[in-house]
Structure 1
Amino acid sequence: MKKLPLLLSLFITLPSVAKPVETWEQAIDLSMALVNKQQETLTRLPFHCVLFVEAKEIDNAFIVDVREKHNAQCGGDPETAPRLFSVEINKQTGESAIDKIVE
């Protein structure tokens, strides 16, 4: 029987986030902190081999794509940066949802 991938959505809030997130810089910083804190769960890549990219802004959230960094130190084709998952940051509460494919 073939195993189907499962889409796992994690809802994570850092205790230090008790205020609105108003800028992309704040959203990227929060995404970096979340991934750093949950790294073992989210990716096997070293933190320095992960990129955080502005993906989309919607009415109530910033969506940050987390991608593989490809260079001489991290390996991979430097012309690509595959998406690992995305972090959605609620603008009003700072709450975060992370989508992640689990096999």
Structure 2
Amino acid sequence: MGAGLIVLVLAACSPSQPADGQDNTTAAPAETSSVATPASAASGAAPAQAALSEDAVVELVNAAIQKHKLTDLPEQCLSYMVEDNGGKVIDIDVREKHDDSCGGDPGVAPRLFSFKLDRVSHQLSTDALDRADGEFQPID
């Protein structure tokens, strides 16, 4: 019985319990994530690939559309269909948005042109430059 009492006393004084009474369970996940980040960078994984959000893809495509004046439609009348299958490229269709402010039948969204975004280099290519043959060409 004395041994059982010693075990209970040792458990109560365990170093896993903070001396100030605060719960330290939130420290473990932070330590785990801070260790995982350098390890993934050291292993050669490209963290930028995981960080490429759909919003970032749309911003890159929209910037190219505006720079090269690929359409006369205002920005608010364009919609983007982003298809990311996890491969080397992300496919983006640029479509007309039909609503009260842009006009047109809201039941349809005609495709204007498409883009492909290389996941690693972020190089864009599009079929908008030569719509006759439909081949994708690099665009900056």
Q: TM-score, normalised by structure 1?
A: 0.68
Q: Is structure 2 residue 54 aligned with structure 1 residue 52?
A: no
**Counterparts of 1:50 and 1:38 in 2: how far apart (Å)?**
15
Segments of 5+ residues of structure 2 without an aligned counterpart are 1-47, 133-140
Aligned to 2:103: 75
Q: Kindly, what percent of the aligned residue pairs are identical? A: 32
Residues matched between the structures, number: 82
Higher-Rg structure is: 2
Give 1 or 2: higher helix fraction.
2
53, 60, 85: which one aligns with 1:23: 53
Q: Greater RCO between the two (CA within 8 Å, min separation 6)?
A: 1
Letter of the 1:30 counterpart: L
- Please tell me the root mean square deviation across aligned C-alpha atoms, in Å: 2.0
Aligned to 1:93: 121
Segments of 5+ residues of structure 1 without an aligned counterpart are 1-19
Quote the offset at 1:68 in angstroms: 0.1
Q: TM-score, normalised by structure 2?
A: 0.52
